[in-house]
């Protein structure tokens, strides 16, 4: 692998985000806001966490411009416009997003339009906080935008914020993170530094997720999962993704399927589809998962985590598979093995039925 990289040469661009990682690190919000020059933050939170907004900034002489709790999955543009009007009206000078990928996504959508600085406190393993990418939905289509304005300036990983993540979502969100790492390994613009991060992230997540699911309050396992999610998020922000992310993008944006669950179901099938083309890149994943093939290993891990393994379980209708396959082919991403529409249709059918993928 390394020799091939050296022969071909590669480009590595480091992401500029400052990262604070640990337990109880949300106590450092005030310090980080000062560093970013934010005095009137617009705070994005889930409704359940809204009462915590004030405590985040208490004692730092910071006045919250407004608290917004309306973020939803797949970043619909009408929600962004609603939040944006409040940001402007309240003269916010920066953004705090505390939550999962949906809350973070809304913060990024606002930053894209205003270039306000962002401080992010992730509570899931989505990895969105580490990327300059944003998937926005309007009129039933999800479009990806990439801009340096979208990349959060600072991220506070506080492991304690993840202790409440329910075991089902911990499992699927963890598989979502693994998907970033796996597709990073065979990205068109892959490089050895990002591959190191991908493998370390996949290893961390594969080892700790069974513990997280069995004992959600295990602090070491939770820290390992968040560390793995950070690394895999960095992979997502640094190199291009492939067929797996394209399919999930279509299924989420055009069929409203839940993000992390969709990633969990689709990943083993795409990895199995790509396996022979990128055998060397995927071999370490097979070793990490102690399996005969990376696709089967990921499928078995999802089962071990009691996560969904069939699109039928998460809201897909069989009558929609043809349209989904056509949409995937409409503006295809790079993939190491070029699929035909018929092959995508077969892959979706297997994923729909929850079949264990072939080696
Ligand atoms: P989410 O943010 O929608 O959260 C799912 C549910 O979990 C919500 O009800 C939320 O309130 C709850 N939750 C979150 N953290 C919790 C915690 N610690 N304890 C208890 N409940 C908690 O789900 P997600 O999978 O993190 O994010 C999905 C969204 O993120 C999608 O819109 C996806 O497109 C986007 N995303 C974007 C990127 C990117 O780089 N642009 C990367 C990954 C995901």
CATH number assigned to the domain comprising residue 33: 3.40.50.1970
- For 107, 111, 236, the CA distances from 134, given in Å and listed in that order, are 10, 11, 12
Distance 139 CA to ligand 1 centre (A): 21
Domain that holds residue 88: 18-162
Does 152 share its domain with 197? Answer: no
Q: Are residues 232 and 141 in the same domain?
A: no
Which residues in the chain belong to E strands, given as ranges? 18-22, 41-44, 66-68, 94-99, 118-122, 133-138, 141-146, 154-158
- Residue 146 forms part of a structural domain: yes
State pTM to two decimals.
0.96
> What is the pLDDT at residue 331?
84
| Residues 6 or more apart in contact with residue 331 via CB below 8 angstroms | none
Same domain for 109 and 62: yes
CA dihedral of 20, 150, 331, 357, whole degrees rounded to 10:
10
pLDDT for the residue numbered 3: 77
Q: How many domains does the chain have?
A: 2
8 located within any domain: no
Residue 35 inside a domain? The answer is yes
**Model pLDDT, residue 74:** 87
Which residue's alpha carbon is nearest to atom 16 within ligand 1? 165
Q: Report yes or no on 246 lying in a domain.
A: yes
CA 230 to chain centre: 9
241/332 same-domain check: yes
Q: Where are the alpha helices (DSSP H) in 115-154?
A: none
> What is the predicted pLDDT for the residue at 1?
54
Q: Which atom of ligand 1 is nearest to the CA of 46?
A: 11
* Minimum-distance ligand 1 atom for the alpha carbon of 142: 34
For ligand 1, atom 20, name the residue with the nearest CA.
Answer: 165
Q: 123 C-alpha to center of ligand 1: Å?
A: 8
Ligand 1 centre from 274 Cα, in Å? 27
Which pLDDT does position 4 carry in this prediction?
77
What pLDDT is attached to residue 2?
64
Asked, for residue 301, whether it belongs to a domain, the answer is yes
Q: What pLDDT is recorded for position 147?
A: 96
- 226 and 79 both lie in a single domain: no
Q: Do 199 and 297 reside in the same domain of the chain? A: yes
Q: Check if the beta carbon of residue 121 is closer than 8 Å to that of residue 26.
A: yes
Tokens of 156: 């506070």
| CATH code of residue 325 | 1.20.1090.10
Same domain as 150, residue 213 = no
Task: Please list the ranges in the chain whose pLDDT falls under 70.
Answer: 1-2
State the alpha helices, DSSP H only, in 65-131.
77-89, 101-114
CA distance between the termini of the chain: 22
């Amino acid at each position: 692998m390394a020799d091939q990289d050296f022969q071909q040469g590669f480009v590595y661009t480091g992401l500029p985000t400052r990262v604070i990682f640990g337990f109880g690190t949300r106590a450092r919000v005030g310090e980080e806001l000062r560093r970013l020059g934010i005095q009137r933050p617009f705070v994005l939170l889930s409704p359940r966490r809204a009462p915590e907004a004030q405590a985040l900034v208490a004692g730092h002489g910071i006045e919250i411009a407004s608290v917004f709790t309306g973020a939803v999955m797949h970043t619909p543009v009408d929600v962004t416009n609603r939040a944006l009007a409040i940001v402007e009206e309240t003269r916010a000078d920066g953004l705090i997003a505390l939550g999962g990928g949906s809350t973070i996504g809304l913060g990024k959508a606002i930053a894209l339009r205003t270039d306000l600085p962002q401080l992010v406190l992730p509570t899931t393993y989505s990895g969105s906080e580490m990327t300059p990418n944003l998937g926005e939905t309007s009129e039933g289509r999800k479009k990806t935008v990439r801009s340096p304005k979208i990349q959060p300036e600072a991220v506070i990983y506080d492991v304690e914020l993840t202790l409440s993540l329910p075991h089902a979502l911990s499992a699927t969100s963890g598989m979502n993170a693994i998907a970033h790492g796996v597709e990073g390994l065979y990205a068109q613009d892959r490089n050895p530094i990002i591959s190191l991060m991908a493998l370390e992230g996949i290893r961390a997540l594969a080892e700790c997720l069974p513990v997280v699911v069995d004992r959600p309050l295990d602090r070491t396992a939770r820290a390992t999962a968040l560390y793995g999610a950070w690394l895999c998020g960095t992979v997502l922000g640094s190199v291009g993704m492939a067929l797996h992310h394209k399919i999930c993008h279509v299924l989420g944006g055009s069929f409203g399927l839940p993000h992390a669950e969709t990633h969990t179901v689709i990943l083993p099938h795409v990895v199995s589809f790509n396996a022979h083309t990128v055998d060397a890149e995927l071999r370490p994943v097979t070793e990490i998962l102690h399996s005969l093939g990376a696709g089967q290993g990921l499928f078995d891990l999802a089962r071990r985590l009691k996560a969904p393994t069939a699109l039928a379980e998460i809201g897909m209708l069989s009558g929609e598979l043809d349209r989904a396959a056509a949409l995937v082919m409409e503006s295809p991403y790079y993939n190491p093995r070029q699929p035909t529409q018929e092959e995508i249709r077969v892959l979706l059918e297997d994923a729909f039925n929850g079949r264990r993928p072939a080696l």
